[in-house]
Each structure stands twice: as C-alpha cells, then as structure tokens.
Amino acid sequence: MSLSGQDKGIALVTALILSLVAIVLMAAIMVLVVTNTQHSGSVKRYTSCLEATKGGMEDFIASMKNSTWTNPADTNWITGHTCKLKRDTSVWSSACTFCSNGTQCTDDSSPSDIINYADWQKSYGSYTVYAKIIDCKGYADGFLYNIELVGVGAGNEKAWIALVYQLAL
C-alpha cells in the first residue's frame, strides 16, 4: 500500500496532538495536587489553632475559679481585669478603673476587640489565646458569664470560640 502525498506526516501530527493533550492533563493534575496540599496545610494550621484555643478555654476557666479580685491565681490575667469577676456587667464601669474610657469593657463581639482588649492571654507554642469576659450576670447560686476566646497562630490563622459559663458560689 502506498501513501499519497497528503497522508505523509499524519503520524507525526497525531503524536504531537496526543503529546499536547497529555501535557495539559499532567499540568492540570499538578495544579490540583499543589492546591490540595495548600488547602490541607491550611486546615491543619486552623485545627491546631482551634485546639490551642480550646486548651486556653480550659486554662481560662480554671483561672476564673481560682482568682480573686485583688490577687489573680495566674499571671496571664491583664493587670486589674479580674475586677470583672463576680460583678454584674452594669457595675464594671464604676468598679474597674480600666473601664472608665468605655472601650476596654465593651461587649463588642469581634476577634479584633477580643485581641485588643483581652482580660487574659496565654501563649501555647506559636499560638496565643486571648480571652474576654463579654457579659456577667449574678444569680443566687453564682454568676453566669458570656466569654469569648480568640486563638491566633504565627501564620495569622484565627479560631474564635464563644461560650457561656456558670461559676457557682
């Protein structure tokens, strides 16, 4: 069988087209692998930050139980901020000297507010956890607190936890 003049080189063209398709598919697979690796790393860093924040929550609650107004049980309390313990929110501005300008005792609920006006903070490796008592109400058998915590990692990842906690007398 002889090839006509028009059929010459068809094998080369076909091989080149198939090679181009294979290269495009390989590039797409590489993009997917890199993207998924980055996403996986991001999830891992967030999960670590969340776990550090949960640990900070446990430490903060323990320090609330052991603190007094004048002598906090641990040095992670910002100076003077234990005055928010065992007092209703309505009296914070008169009982806590740092509340006089109104910004540090706001009940703002944003990560930046909690970080900038934290009542308590502690570092866990490359993570720092900030805690702020947002609200407090006294009852016959104790106090009910609205607390928010923000954990911040070295890569600027953040985890934010809000909880309600009752401290019995």
Strands, DSSP E only, in 37-78? none
What's the CATH superfamily of 10-168?
A: CAC2371-like domains (2.20.130.10)
Over range 107-124, report the average pLDDT. Answer: 88
**Average pLDDT in the chain:** 86
Lookup result for tokens 């570092």: 123
Q: Could you report the per-residue pLDDT of 41-86, keeping only the tens digit for each?
A: 888 889 999 999 999 999 999 888 887 666 666 788 888 888 888 8
CA 146 – CA 57 distance, rounded (Å): 12
Q: Which residues contact 154 (CB under 8 A, 6 or more apart)?
A: 126, 127
Q: Output the pLDDT for position 167.
A: 87
**Model confidence pTM above 0.75:** yes
Over range 91-107, report the average pLDDT. Answer: 76
CA 168 – CA 21 distance, rounded (Å): 69
Q: Output the pLDDT for position 48.
A: 93
Query: What b/e readout covers 5-18, taking b as 16+ CB neighbours within 10 angstroms?
Result: eeeeeeeeeeeeee
**47 neighbors 158 (Cβ within 8 angstroms):** no
Nearest one of 97, 150, 100, 155 to 128, comparing CA atoms? 150
Lookup result for tokens 């997917």: 32
Each domain of the chain, given as residue ranges in start order, spans 10-168
CA 157 – CA 147 distance, rounded (Å): 20
